[in-house]
């Protein structure tokens, strides 16, 4: 059973970052390079550490800059891209369909929660202005 809902409901920033950099838990694979690119595209600094710490720093930076919804949207786009990659790999190697099915299911679940978190972050931002 996935722990994605629990982390989104009860977890803090550290638990969220840890979830997102663990492909078996989240259904996506975020490399250090991809985290750096997201940060650079947003004009933010992720720092130079492990993936979880970099992502945690990126969340902090985005929050301080009022750009958490944008970061959540970018992560949602990463999950969508992973789903498409898994579908392509399934078409290329039909016997692996069962393995990719689980990844797709986790990435879809992650997307649902990222979109909910983005809506909540947007609502918080609009109410604080």
- pLDDT tens, per residue, the chain with 129 residues: 578 888 988 988 899 999 999 999 999 999 999 999 999 999 998 888 899 999 999 999 999 999 999 999 999 999 999 999 999 999 999 998 998 999 999 999 999 999 999 999 999 878 776
Number of structural domains in the chain: 1
The residue range of the domain holding 83 is 4-128
pTM: 0.92
Among 129, 116, 127, 112, residue whose Cα is nearest residue 2: 112
Q: DSSP readout, 39-66?
A: HHHHT----SS-HHHHHHHHHHHHHHTT
């Amino acid at each position: 059973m996935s722990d994605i809902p629990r982390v989104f409901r009860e977890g803090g920033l550290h638990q969220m970052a840890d979830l997102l950099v663990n492909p078996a838990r989240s259904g996506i694979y975020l490399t250090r390079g991809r985290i750096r690119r997201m940060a650079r595209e947003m004009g933010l600094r992720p720092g130079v550490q492990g993936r979880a710490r970099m992502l945690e720093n990126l969340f902090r930076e985005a929050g301080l800059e009022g750009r958490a919804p944008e970061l959540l949207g970018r992560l949602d786009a990463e999950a969508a891209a992973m789903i498409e990659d898994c579908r392509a790999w399934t078409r290329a190697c039909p016997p692996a369909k069962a393995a990719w099915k689980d990844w797709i299911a986790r990435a879809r679940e992650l997307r649902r929660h990222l979109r909910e978190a983005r809506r909540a972050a947007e609502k918080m931002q609009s109410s604080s202005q």
